[in-house]
Structure 1
């Protein structure tokens, strides 16, 4: 299944989008299918991604989401990235993913003042440098 998902994330079509939305809505392991949104993201999907991020509390799954959401929003530049990425930022401990999230928020010009003031004290030197 992992290879199929990896292949589908590079293809864009209405059928693939319908497939991923069905799997997200009807699968126990919906996170496994989110990568397909890299090429099939549409405006408004941030609400779905925010809902998933809000419901996720496992540290491992939050890190998994951070990697996937970063990939989605690197491929799909949008101000809509703000809410789902901030939800994950506020739940996570991983300096590597936190830095990636902050970079995407900066790139899309949606970095909040709260996060901007926090990253000055981040444990990761590279993340602290992002405030300049």
Structure 2
């Protein structure tokens, strides 16, 4: 938003409450993050309602009843069948092989002497890591 000419700065200040990240900014972000999927779903439903009210081949709203087939039951059953197939596929994937789309790093055995590859330590902490790794475990390890 800040890239919008003339009013970008004001928009950012109005929506997020300034450029600093504080409690008000996080509250607004979480509110938008929670509400946006519902807004998109509502807009999709409204779009489908109006699309099937006038027909997708009739953007001008002209009377073309003779050219149209009824929306229900043909398209309703087609949409329900597609939804059911996708739901069954998702359920089969999640119930029969839940780890198929997972990250294989989650199943590597723990090794306290090796930093996992997905953790990139900051360069200025490397000496501390070296010192801590050189100290043997006093708890019987």
Give TM-score, length-normalised by structure 1.
0.21
Structure having the larger proportion of residues in helix: 1
Structure showing greater relative contact order (alpha-carbon pairs closer than 8 Å, 6 or more residues apart): 1
Give TM-score, length-normalised by structure 2.
0.20
Q: Which protein has the larger Cα radius of gyration, Structure 1 or Structure 2?
A: 2
